[in-house]
């Protein structure tokens, strides 16, 4: 068909079609009279291009995906995660504007507004500048084998299976519920819910981890995102689980992560986290000192390379936000936290 017919069929303009041709996204053949002929293949590609442009993918990304004969899933995940970050940023801005309105008629407003703007800037950086220091993409393929190795004098995966089992038991999910596993990795915890027939989404900041997880658990809903920008709608899930992931988030960001979890959790929803942490700061200090006294450098280095939580801070945040909390400790640094949202939490 000719360009006018193709444009009509696709509810677009010949000019738009020409633009995509100029950008190298489509290459229709030319008839002997010089007219471009749009075969079914070009019309199908144009349909894809128009749809992907509408949700904000760049022509460059679309071109790459078309050239690689991709199924676009990865591009759509990336786009979703970017849009989600933007949405949260707009919310943060609106909340700041509201706070600014409150002080705008008062003395000293300039300084207060500046403080608010500074806070907002910090928040924006946290939401958008997540950086994976440990290169989990690189670890994804060998992850399941590596958790079986025990380390020389410090085994972070001691009681791993037991911890995942207990998270699953404590959530006590029913079939009509839906959950999310954050920092799901290859989906070892997710599997316990899937095999029970429970609907799960998995979130991870690593595309490779999500890929491996998807291969191990075909059909599982994978979403690219991170603790401070969860790619989920408000109150979308009945429970949130996470294992061995929160300790990759700096301590000063953990409360913001709890706030994000609170946003996506339904009323009376549960959060169950199994992770490496200390009871409190004095327990962190004494544990580190005892490893140092033993000369266990492996333990000290491993702990100092990551951000084991101060459990008391997490509990305090939940209690201040209307959650009921219970805890279990497997060994000196592996803890299980259960928190149930009893009222609407923070907004
Ligand atoms: C040690 S693995 C644990 C994987 C799995 N939950 C398990 O128990 O086997 C940590 C996982 O958390 C993910 N992760 C680290 N920081 C994260 C963050 N800020 N947001 C989301 N995922 C994160 C990593 O990509 C990795 O897949």
85/266 Cα distance (integer angstroms): 20
Band of pLDDT at residue 347, cut at 50, 70 and 90: very low
Report the 10 Å Cβ neighbour count for 209.
Answer: 24
Site residues for ligand 1, CB cut-off 6 Å: 130, 136, 182-185, 188-189, 204-206, 209, 226-227, 243-245, 248-249
pLDDT given at position 4: 93
What would the CATH number be for the domain defined by 136-341? 3.40.50.150
pLDDT given at position 287: 95
Cβ-based neighbours of 164, under 8 Å, separated by 6 or more = 188, 189, 192, 243, 274
Q: Give the nearest ligand 1 atom to 227 CA.
A: 20
201/284 Cα distance (integer angstroms): 33
Report the 10 Å Cβ neighbour count for 33.
Answer: 5
Average pLDDT over residues 221-229: 94
Q: Give the nearest ligand 1 atom to 209 CA.
A: 27
User: Quick one: tokens of 46?
Assistant: 């144009």
User: Is the model's pLDDT at 345 over the cut of 60?
Assistant: no
User: Is the model's pLDDT at 346 over the cut of 60?
Assistant: no
3-67 topology per CATH: Multidrug-efflux Transporter Regulator; Chain: A; Domain 2 (1.10.1660)
Cβ–Cβ < 8 Å for 264, 232: yes
Counting ligand 1 atoms within 8 A of each CB, the residue from 245, 254, 258, 276 with the most, and so the one to mutate, is: 245
Average pLDDT over residues 133-145: 96
Band of pLDDT at residue 148, cut at 50, 70 and 90: confident
Closest listed residue to residue 231, CA positions, set 191, 202, 267: 202
Residue 321 C-alpha to ligand 1 middle, in angstroms? 25
Alpha helix locations (H) across the chain?
3-9, 14-22, 40-54, 59-67, 73-103, 109-128, 136-139, 143-146, 160-171, 188-194, 207-216, 251-264, 281-294, 297-305, 311-320
User: Quick one: tokens of 127?
Assistant: 């939401």
The residues spanned by each domain of the chain are: 3-67, 73-128, 136-341
pLDDT mean across residues, the chain = 93
Cβ-based neighbours of 155, under 8 Å, separated by 6 or more = none
Cβ–Cβ < 8 Å for 52, 62: yes
128/85 Cα distance (integer angstroms): 7
Closest listed residue to residue 83, CA positions, set 118, 127, 132, 121: 127
160/30 Cα distance (integer angstroms): 62
pLDDT given at position 87: 93
Q: Give the nearest ligand 1 atom to 185 CA.
A: 27
């Amino acid at each position: 068909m000719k360009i006018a017919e193709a444009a009509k069929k696709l509810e677009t303009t010949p000019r738009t079609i020409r633009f995509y041709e100029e950008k190298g996204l489509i290459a229709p053949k030319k008839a002997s009279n010089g007219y471009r002929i749009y075969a079914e293949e070009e019309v199908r590609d144009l349909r894809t291009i128009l749809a992907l442009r509408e949700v904000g993918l760049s022509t460059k990304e679309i071109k790459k995906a078309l050239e690689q004969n991709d199924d676009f899933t990865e591009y759509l995940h990336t786009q979703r995660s970017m849009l989600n970050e933007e949405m949260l940023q707009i919310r943060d801005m609106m909340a700041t504007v509201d706070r600014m309105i409150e002080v705008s008629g008062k003395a000293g407003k300039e300084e207060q507004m500046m403080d608010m703007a500074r806070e907002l800037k910090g928040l924006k950086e946290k939401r958008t500048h997540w950086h994976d220091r440990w290169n989990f993409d690189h670890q994804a393929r060998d992850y399941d084998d590596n958790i079986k190795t025990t380390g020389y004098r410090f085994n972070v995966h001691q009681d791993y299976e037991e911890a995942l089992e207990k998270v699953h038991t404590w959530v006590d999910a029913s079939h009509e519920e839906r959950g999310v596993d954050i920092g799901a990795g290859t989906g070892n915890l997710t599997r316990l819910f899937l095999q029970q027939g429970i609907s799960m989404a998995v979130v991870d900041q690593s595309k490779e981890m999500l890929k491996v997880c998807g291969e191990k658990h075909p059909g599982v809903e994978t979403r690219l995102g991170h603790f401070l920008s969860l790619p989920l709608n408000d109150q979308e899930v009945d429970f949130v689980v996470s294992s061995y992931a929160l300790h990759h988030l700096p301590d000063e960001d953990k409360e913001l992560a709890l706030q994000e979890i609170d946003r996506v959790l339904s009323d009376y929803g549960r959060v169950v986290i199994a992770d490496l942490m200390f009871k409190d700061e004095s327990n962190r200090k004494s544990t580190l000192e005892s490893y140092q006294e033993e000369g266990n450098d492996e333990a000290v280095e491993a702990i100092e390379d990551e951000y084991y939580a101060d459990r008391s801070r997490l509990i305090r945040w939940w209690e201040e936000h209307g959650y009921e909390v219970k805890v279990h400790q497997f060994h000196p640094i592996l803890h299980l936290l259960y928190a149930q949202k009893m009222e609407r939490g923070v907004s």
